[in-house]
Chain A
């Protein structure tokens, strides 16, 4: 796994500084500490920081094609590169490395942008066609690997991470009010946005082409979901067998690496299933890693231990103590580069650190299963509310909600109030956002902390309307679960789970995560599985449980879903964290950032300090406000344009002083 960065001039005026490229690449050092390389000509500059996983000896990037007219920098893995390479060899292509990167480049040469549909993997890449003077940027289907860009001073500047773009000093660093509105509604920005004004994200499943000063952004893939009449007509047994085979293949090719591959193991269904496939089929001595919490409500230790003894794996665990979560939170926000409403990313940052300390740099994880197989409570909640809406006065129907949230309903006194809460919008079952409206409207309550200035800048902007317009044409033909799955995948999965809680937390410690549940073949198959087999009655991920039944202990199959969460109040408002929380939430800092009303924030903190257990919405407000302040402080007010760590370049291709046919390699490490 790696980091990529670059600058491409939109026309022939101006020049690209090697020093700026070096700084942009240095800002990505954590993504790729093993090697670094740069390509530079009159039009384009490409920088690459490499974490060596495949082809340790000759995979240094940028990599070129045979006649050195195409140059690639690439962050990711294409797991089916072995098969693709064989095809290309048969067509007469030759290779000077054994890396997957060179396969991707040659496939691009052969097929152009269509090659993206052939790639099974996770990637962000840039390819420079020196002959056509064309830049091609692309990102994997679901957005496992990040890619951002901006256009400034007649140049397209892009990078895996925004901090690297900000190394170009002329790029303005400003919080985008619209993005703030989006985050405090949807929990994350809408596709294409970042928290910073004019810094764009290349959305998942898209590519960008820059040619003759013109930029085209095009979608090449969308999450496969189909109307009922296109669903599989297979028995649950047949479905579960095929799913297990697809998962086995997804795991098999994700173990391709020239380094040891480990696995995360939480004790939940998804990571237990993946680890079981690894241990039973590929590596009986696999290394696994898990998180432990000091508060019982968050901890899954018993189930984790059960799986460790069941699979006899070599397991390590990290203890995510409340104080630890609080103390590393600012570092986590430095990596996420966007405000958060949860502290759940933090333990994953600590976990990847543990992986690295154990000398591993690749792990398989269970992320994506809840989206693809229907695991989230929000899906079940929508199902119950649709059923309830048919008889709104039925006590029996409304009581089904209790079974979804036993931890909220454990106090019987709340039952009637909670039913009122969940009955909101029961008459809106035709709304395309029926499944998510309660969550979004609840989250929007935090906007009452927004400063007057921020509210004025947001004005009449309506995120719902924007999202509505971006829905695919077939959306109306899908059933309720498919619609909810789509929203969850487009918003929560891509922009939060795979980003703030995924790539960024792993790469912050130079660790690559690989996600078998997001294998394109599996996603395509699941798009045609009838919703009733995904959630049978109220049993979430039914068909996945059926697939894993031969592999896992019954108690793991049967256990109620344990949503992965981390403590908030006791982590952020404790004496260890309070030095920076006090500073970030002080009246002067709040006024300086201008994002929130200082007096209201003060009342929130006072209230939270008074109680032992705070309300969820107050917790979310605290994390949201604190992380926004940290984003402002770290990226806007106090951004370090010079990182203390200087990188040494292993490969420099500088074509500025020569005609384009001549190549100069200044330095190459053996």
Chain B
């Protein structure tokens, strides 16, 4: 839950500029134009800095990064592996 809220706030502040009306846990960032291709880098930088992790190249795929719930799943797995 904590992951979800933190990532959600980051997305709302940095990509939606405060407007959370269209964002659900299952909204696709790419399809809905919320985070574009280069915005993914900002998202990754946020995750690496906030959770002190390194997102490996092969983890940087839409299946991990394109929705709030996929990011949460990814973080849960990543941080439990540590």
Contact = CB atoms under 8 A, between A and B. Distances in A.
Are A and B co-members of a single complex? yes
Interface of A: 408, 411-414, 416-418, 420-422, 424, 441-442, 444-445, 448-449, 597, 599-601, 603-604, 607, 611, 615-617
B4 to A, nearest CB: 21
Contact of B38 (A444, A604, A615): A615
A421 B36 contact: yes
B7 interface: no
A580 B62 CA distance: 40
A445 B19 CA distance: 13
A420 B62 contact: yes
A604 B15 CA distance: 9
B31 interface: yes
Nearest to B40: A417
25 contacts: A411-B41, A414-B40, A414-B41, A414-B60, A416-B60, A416-B61, A417-B30, A417-B61, A417-B62, A417-B65, A420-B66, A421-B36, A424-B31, A441-B33, A442-B33, A444-B33, A448-B17, A599-B17, A600-B18, A603-B13, A603-B18, A607-B13, A611-B42, A615-B38, A617-B36
Contacts of A411: 41
Contacts of B37: 408, 414, 417-418, 420-422
A599 B19 CA distance: 10
Given A600-B19, A603-B18, A417 B60 contact: yes
Among B14, B17, B41, the one with the most A-chain Cβ atoms within 10 Å of its Cβ is B17
A442 B62 contact: no
Contact of B30 (A424, A611, A616): A424
Contacts of A445: 33, 36
Interface string B16-57: 111100000000001101001111111010000000000101
- The interface centre, meaning the residue of B13, B14, B16, B38 with most chain A CB atoms within 10 A of its CB, is B38
Contacts of B55: 413
A417 B66 CA distance: 9
Nearest to A411: B41
B62 A448 contact: no
Contacts of B57: 412-413
B14 A607 contact: yes
Highest count of chain B CB atoms <10 Å: which of A414, A424, A599, A601: A414
B62 A416 contact: yes
Given A603-B17, A607-B14, A413 B44 contact: yes
Contacts of A420: 30, 37, 62, 66
Chain A binding surface, main DSSP class: helix
List of 4 A-B pairs having minimum Cβ-Cβ separation, nearest first: A600-B17, A421-B37, A603-B17, A417-B40
Contacts of A413: 41, 44, 55, 57, 60
Nearest to B63: A416
B13 to A, nearest CB: 6
A611 B38 CA distance: 14
Contacts of B36: 421, 442, 445, 615-617
Contacts of B66: 420
A448 to B, nearest CB: 6
A91 B8 CA distance: 78
Nearest to A412: B57
B74 to A, nearest CB: 14
A600 B16 CA distance: 8
A444 B32 CA distance: 11
Contacts of B38: 408, 414, 615-616
Contacts of B62: 416-417, 420
A222 B80 CA distance: 64
Nearest to A599: B18
B9 to A, nearest CB: 12
A417 B42 CA distance: 13
Contacts of A448: 16-17, 19
A587 to B, nearest CB: 14
Nearest to A601: B17
A400 to B, nearest CB: 16
A639 B61 CA distance: 52
Contacts of B40: 414, 417
A106 B62 CA distance: 66
Nearest to B55: A413
B17 A604 contact: yes
Q: Of A412, A424, A615, which is in contact with the most chain B CB atoms at under 10 Å from its CB?
A: A615
Contacts of A600: 17-19
A599 B20 CA distance: 13
Given A420-B66, A603-B18, 15 more contacts: A413-B55, A414-B38, A417-B30, A417-B60, A420-B37, A420-B62, A421-B30, A421-B36, A424-B31, A442-B33, A444-B33, A448-B16, A615-B42, A616-B36, A617-B39
Given A413-B60, A417-B40, A616-B38, A449 B17 contact: yes
Contacts of A421: 30, 36-37
Nearest to A449: B17
Nearest to B16: A448
Contacts of B65: 417
Contacts of B19: 448, 600
B56 to A, nearest CB: 9
A615 B14 CA distance: 11
A660 to B, nearest CB: 61
A171 B16 CA distance: 38
A603 B17 CA distance: 6
Contacts of A611: 42
Contacts of B60: 413-414, 416-417
A600 B39 CA distance: 17
Contacts of A412: 57
A445 B32 CA distance: 9
Contacts of B41: 411, 413-414
A411 B42 CA distance: 13
A4 B30 CA distance: 48
A332 to B, nearest CB: 26
Nearest to A417: B40
A601 B16 CA distance: 11
A370 to B, nearest CB: 23
B25 to A, nearest CB: 19
